[in-house]
Chains A and B, each alone.
Chain A
Amino acid sequence: MSGKMCSSSNSIIQAQKLVDQLRVEANMERFKISLTAADLVQYCQEHRRSDPLLTGIAASSNPFKDKKTCVLL
Chain B
Amino acid sequence: MCDQTFVAATFGPCDSCGTASPLMNIYIKNEPINYCSFCMEVMACQGLQKGETLATLKKECESLKKKLEEDRGKLNDVELHQVAEKVEVVGALSIKTRRVLKGHTNKVLCMDWCKDKRRLVSSSQDGKVIVWDGFTLNKEHGMSMPTTWVMACAYAPSGCAVACGGLDNKCSVIPLSLDSNENCAAKKKTVAMHTNYISGCTFTNSDMQLLSCSGDGTSALWDVESGQLLQSFHGHTSDILSLDLAPSETGNTFVTGGCDKKANVWDMRSGQNIQSFECHESDINCVKYYPSGDAFASASDDATCRFFDLRADREVAVFQKDSIVFGASTVDFSLSGRLLFAGYNDYTINVWDVLKGTRISMMFGHENRVSRVRLSPDGTALCSASWDNTLRVIDIFCCFQA
Q: Which of A6-25 contact B (CB under 8 A)?
A: 6, 8-16, 18-19, 21-25
Asked, given contacts A53-B335, A55-B398, whether A9 binds B44 with beta carbons under 8 Å apart, the answer is yes
Asked, given contacts A31-B312, A36-B309, whether A43 binds B78 with beta carbons under 8 Å apart, the answer is no
The answer to whether B54 touches A30, judged by C-beta atoms less than 8 angstroms apart, is no
Q: Which residues of B contact A36 (CB under 8 A)?
A: 294, 309, 311-312, 316
The answer to whether B75 touches A64, judged by C-beta atoms less than 8 angstroms apart, is no
The total of Cβ contacts below 8 Å across the A-B interface reads 205
Tally of A interface residues using CB under 8 Å: 53
The answer to whether B83 touches A34, judged by C-beta atoms less than 8 angstroms apart, is yes
Asked, given contacts A9-B44, A19-B57, A47-B291, whether A30 binds B313 with beta carbons under 8 Å apart, the answer is yes
Q: Which residues of A contact B170 (CB under 8 A)?
A: none
The answer to whether A39 touches B294, judged by C-beta atoms less than 8 angstroms apart, is yes
- B393: Cβ under 8 A from any A Cβ: yes
The answer to whether A55 touches B402, judged by C-beta atoms less than 8 angstroms apart, is yes
The answer to whether B40 touches A33, judged by C-beta atoms less than 8 angstroms apart, is no
Q: Which of B103-160 contact A (CB under 8 A)?
A: 117-118, 134-135
Q: How far, in angstroms, from A51 to B76 measured CA to CA in the complex?
A: 30
Q: Which residues of B contact A48 (CB under 8 A)?
A: 336, 338
Q: How far, in angstroms, from A16 to B29 measured CA to CA in the complex?
A: 12
The answer to whether A37 touches B44, judged by C-beta atoms less than 8 angstroms apart, is no
Most buried by A among B65, B235, B398: B398
Q: How far, in angstroms, from A13 to B44 measured CA to CA in the complex?
A: 6
Least distance between A19 CB and chain B CB atoms (Å): 5
- A2: Cβ under 8 A from any B Cβ: yes
Q: Which of A34, A53, A63 contacts B135 (CB 8 A)?
A: A63
Q: Which residues of A contact B275 (CB under 8 A)?
A: 25, 28
Asked, given contacts A9-B40, A9-B44, whether A43 binds B291 with beta carbons under 8 Å apart, the answer is yes
Interface stretch of the complex, out of B185-193, B323-331, B375-383 = B375-383
Closest to A50 in B: B335
Q: How far, in angstroms, from A50 to B28 measured CA to CA in the complex?
A: 46
The answer to whether B272 touches A24, judged by C-beta atoms less than 8 angstroms apart, is yes
Q: How far, in angstroms, from A46 to B380 measured CA to CA in the complex?
A: 18
Q: How far, in angstroms, from A47 to B336 measured CA to CA in the complex?
A: 5
Q: Can you list 10 residue pairs at the A/B interface with Cβ under 8 Å?
A: A9-B37, A16-B44, A16-B57, A22-B68, A30-B313, A32-B312, A36-B312, A39-B311, A52-B380, A64-B380
Identify 15 new A-B residue pairs, CB closer than 8 A, beyond the known A52-B378, A53-B396.
A10-B3, A12-B47, A15-B57, A15-B58, A22-B61, A25-B68, A32-B312, A34-B77, A43-B336, A44-B336, A47-B335, A47-B336, A47-B337, A54-B338, A55-B401
Shortest 3 CB-CB contacts between residues of A and residues of B: A51-B336, A47-B336, A22-B64
